[in-house]
Amino acid sequence: MKIDWHDDYSIGDEHLDEQHRRWLGFYNELDEALQKQDQKDLAATRTLLLQKMSDYVAYHFHYEEEYMRGIGYPEVDKHWRIHKNFRNQIYRLYRDHKEGDIVLTSEIMSVLKSWIISHILEQDKKIEEFVSGRKHSPQPKNET
Ligand SMILES: [Fe+2]
Ligand SMILES: [Fe+2]
């Protein structure tokens, strides 16, 4: 089922939100191809999508990591490690696919879905909580 963007998903930076919308778009593209039940079309979408995800993951993570550093987000190392795992997961799927292994649509969808639900909505959301917490506190904390 399609995942719609909701304002609650926003983490307070328009570029990052736009990039996150793109991840939702990847998921929806695959979902749409799956609904059509055209195996040839689905296989082509899988190939294209794995390629797009591999290209985009490096760009998005780099941008987000720089953003976190820029605002002094304290959990940037932990977040970086989570990104690294996900990046490796995507690269592995893409490599398997290029080497002729069968990468199932459901496999790609579950990776994307768990990413959107458990990473963007939980981990990335903490970045916004950090920024808004800072805005609302009269004195900046931990200034060393
Ligand atoms: Fe993100
Ligand atoms: Fe992230």
Contacts of 68 (CB under 8 A, 6+ apart): 76, 79, 127
Write the pLDDT tens digit of every residue in 42-51: 999 999 999 9
Instruction: Write down the pTM of the prediction.
Output: 0.89
What's the length of the chain? 144
Ligand nearest to the CA of 86: 2
CA of 12 to the centre of ligand 2 (A): 13
- Domains of the chain, first to last: 15-127 (1.20.120.50)
Write the pLDDT tens digit of every residue in 54-82: 999 999 999 999 999 999 999 999 999 99
Ligand nearest to the CA of 60: 1
CA of 134 to the centre of ligand 1 (A): 20
Ligand nearest to the CA of 13: 1
Structure tokens at 72: 């002094």
CA of 128 to the centre of ligand 2 (A): 11
